[in-house]
Amino acid sequence: MTVEPSPLRRRVKKYKSINDIINGVNYAAVVEHNNNNNNDYNDTVCDECGSGDRDHQLLLCDKCDKAFHMTCLRPIVVRVPIGPWFCPQCSDHPPPAVKSFTQTKIFDFFKIKKCTASAVKRISPQDSRKRRRRMVHHKKRRRLLPFTPSEDTERRLEQMGSLASALTSLNMEYSDDLTYSFDMAPRWANLASYEKGGMQVLSKEDTETLEYCSAMLKRGECPPLLVIFDSCEGYTVEADGPIKDMTLITEYIGDVDYIKNREHDDCDSMMTLLLASNPSKSLVICPDKRGNIARFINGINNFTPESKKKQNLKCVRYSVNGECRVLLVATRDIAKGERLYYDYNGYEHEYPTHHFV
């Protein structure tokens, strides 16, 4: 017969406290022996050119672990990407296919409004002659010219379709106005009076030209431009018709944000909008979600004479009715088929353009 032990004689099992367990743990130290005293990536070379020079420009693919110089990639990579990066062979994003858009889809994409002739403010030939006379008397005050849309409607649809295809491939929306939102910068923050050293004011005549160009866009009359994809430059813009010197090409459009919020942003198309005396009030235009054709106009290489010769546009910041605006203007006559370029370093001289083609 089994006799149960008396409750008083049972051994009481004592559990250790968590502090005792932690204090009693034997820690293991891992010592890494490296006889070569070299980093594992010291022998990394570019898979494209075979060189290991300029290692600060080498990007490692997060899938195949191959390395590529940013300038050897096509299209080139302007800045070191933030987060994972995949080489062209491992990327899920092949060269974008050109999408076709029907006229109805183009009208919807650009929110084109059908206006009657009486509702549209047009510049008459008489007004044009008056403008020319003013230019004769004031040669130093050169006026902006409105762009001249292609007369052929089908041609204009093709031009707008090329822009719609490029924007769609980048998951962007079209906009012809600066966008303000509560989580970035409000509209009241865009005051030209904040500009350090002051900002040039757009004249009344040039403001009318800007408003006239905006009205043309709203009724589907776009500048004669095509967005094309180049294997070397990526998306770029070329003239689809002759463009005169001093023609207003487009306004730089996108979301307005404080520059302090974008210090670590890898977007390569941000544009300075306001350089305030107080840096916390400085603003940039960010065309990563919304934008227009300005998003695809490329910059020149500031370090080579050949590239500087390609510049045919200038980027100018103006005060328009007290707000900062950025305009792209032709600096000379541009022939049909010529690509559009401007200087990315018109103000800060900090944008890395030495690797531009």
Q: Select from 119, 293, 296, 132 the least CA-distant residue to 215.
A: 119
What's the chain look like in SS3? Answer: CCCCCCCCCCCCCCCCCHHHHHHCCCCCCCCCCCCCCCCCCCCCCECCCCCCCCHHHEEECCCCCCEEECCCCCCCCCCCCCCCCCCCCCCCCCCCCCCCCCHHHHHHHCCCCCCCHHHCCCCCHHHHHHHHHHHHHCCCCCCCEECCCCCCHHHHHHHHHHHHHHHHHCCCEECCCCECCCCCCCHHHCCHHHECCCCCECCHHHHHHHHHHHHHHHCCCCCCEEEEEECCCEEEEEECCCECCCEEEEECCCEEEEHHHHCCCCCCCCEEEECECCHHHCEEEECCCEECHHHHCEECCCCCHHHHHCCCEEEEEEEECCEEEEEEEECCCECCCCECEECCCCCCCCCCCCCCC
Other beta carbons within 10 angstroms of residue 168's beta carbon come to 15
Q: Select from 203, 214, 205, 204 the least CA-distant residue to 121.
A: 214
Entry pTM: 0.70
> CA 97: distance to chain centroid?
20
pLDDT in the model for residue 282:
94
CA dist., res. 166 & res. 140, Å (int): 39
Phi–psi pair at 143, nearest 5 degrees: -95, 150
pLDDT in the model for residue 12:
46
pLDDT in the model for residue 30:
47
Which neighbouring-strand residues pair with 338? none
CA dist., res. 235 & res. 73, Å (int): 14
CA dist., res. 280 & res. 265, Å (int): 16
pLDDT in tens, the chain (357 residues): 444 544 444 444 455 565 565 566 555 444 454 555 455 566 889 888 888 888 888 888 888 888 988 878 876 676 677 677 788 788 755 556 656 778 888 888 888 876 544 444 455 433 654 555 555 544 556 899 999 999 999 999 999 999 999 999 889 999 999 999 889 999 999 999 999 998 999 999 999 999 999 999 999 999 999 999 887 778 899 999 999 999 999 999 999 999 999 887 766 688 999 999 999 999 999 998 999 999 999 888 677 777 778 899 999 999 999 999 999 999 999 999 999 999 876 655 555 555 554
CA dist., res. 267 & res. 255, Å (int): 12
Report yes or no: 105 and 84 within 8 Å, Cβ to Cβ. no
pLDDT in the model for residue 11:
45
The torsion of the CA quartet 308, 76, 240, 318, rounded to 10 degrees, works out to: -60
CA dist., res. 318 & res. 226, Å (int): 26
Q: Select from 299, 194, 289 the least CA-distant residue to 237.
A: 299
> What kind of architecture, by CATH, is found in domain 103-118+145-342?
Beta Complex (2.170)
Tokens 């149960």: give the residue. 4
Other beta carbons within 10 angstroms of residue 35's beta carbon come to 5
Domain ranges of the chain: 103-118+145-342
Q: Contacts for 109-116 with beta carbons within 8 Å, 24 or more apart?
A: 109/160, 109/164, 109/174, 110/160, 110/164, 110/174, 110/217, 110/220, 111/174, 111/218, 112/218, 112/219, 112/220, 113/218, 113/219, 114/219, 115/218, 115/219
